[in-house]
Homo-oligomer: A and B are copies of this chain.
């Protein structure tokens, strides 16, 4: 019995569990697709590491997915998307590869309507400047400011997404950023961990600031690409599978925060890269 390319899963890759926010949006938008998620939990976080190291890790992780057969790769990690996309496209060609930065930038530009944009992300993403470049490629005159918000990653992973510690940590990064002139009206959550803190971020940012994350727009970009390539798997019975490079119990426990659904620890397969 042969399997058609349409039925192959879409590979989704992240340094850990944050990319499950993208998987969640894809599951909602593309219910017929089979999804194969790989979290590189043995080597997370990527956000504090150098571009060379992130590229090396991302290519190894992507090859573990292609070895199992996938029809498309979604890089559901802002840090890897910001530095490793060219290397991934080259290593995996002709497989289509979609990152989260360009969909996120497109969503920001659409929401901004010419108003200033602020981006919060990991240290690695901010240093690479990929969001600023992607936004200004689409809208060259749009003012963009950015700020690394490294503490928000462990806060999200510990499930500390509301309450006083989360509020103070968010304010530490947002208050100076949103006080820049002209005042940003759009705030891009430039790390897949940050949607878990959305409620607290919205409260600190106030009602004048619109939050944008790349999960929903990445799912749209994936849909468009599948349609264009004739690879869409119709139906509503897609299967989700999970791979992790370490600690499946922690993956399932922390992952539920991001996926918004239970993950059976027994269903998480450990792979060695």
> What residues of chain A have their CB less than 8 Å away from a CB belonging to chain B?
41-43, 48-50, 53, 123, 150-151, 153-155, 157-158, 160, 164-165, 168-169, 172, 246-247, 250
A51 → chain B, closest Cβ, in Å?
A: 10
Which of A43, A48, A155, A246 is packed against the most chain B CB atoms within 10 Å?
Answer: A48
Partner of A154 from the list B154, B168, B247 (CB cut-off 8 Å) is: B154
Q: Could you tell me the distance between the alpha carbons of A42 and B43 in the complex, rounded to whole angstroms? A: 8
Number of copies of chain A assembled together: 2
Q: Could you tell me the distance between the alpha carbons of A169 and B50 in the complex, rounded to whole angstroms? A: 28
A9 → chain B, closest Cβ, in Å?
A: 26
Partner of A151 from the list B123, B160, B247 (CB cut-off 8 Å) is: B160
Given A43-B43, A154-B151, A158-B151: A49 in contact with B168 (beta carbons within 8 A): no
CB-based nearest B residue for A169: B165
A122 → chain B, closest Cβ, in Å?
A: 12
Q: Could you tell me the distance between the alpha carbons of A53 and B53 in the complex, rounded to whole angstroms? A: 18
Across the A-B interface, give the 6 residue pairs with the lowest CB-CB distance, nearest first.
Answer: A154-B154, A50-B247, A165-B168, A53-B246, A42-B53, A49-B246
Partner of A247 from the list B42, B48, B158, B164 (CB cut-off 8 Å) is: B48
Q: Which B residues touch A172, using CB under 8 A?
A: 165
Q: Which B residues touch A158, using CB under 8 A?
A: 150-151
A138 → chain B, closest Cβ, in Å?
A: 31
A48 touches B250 (CB 8 A): yes
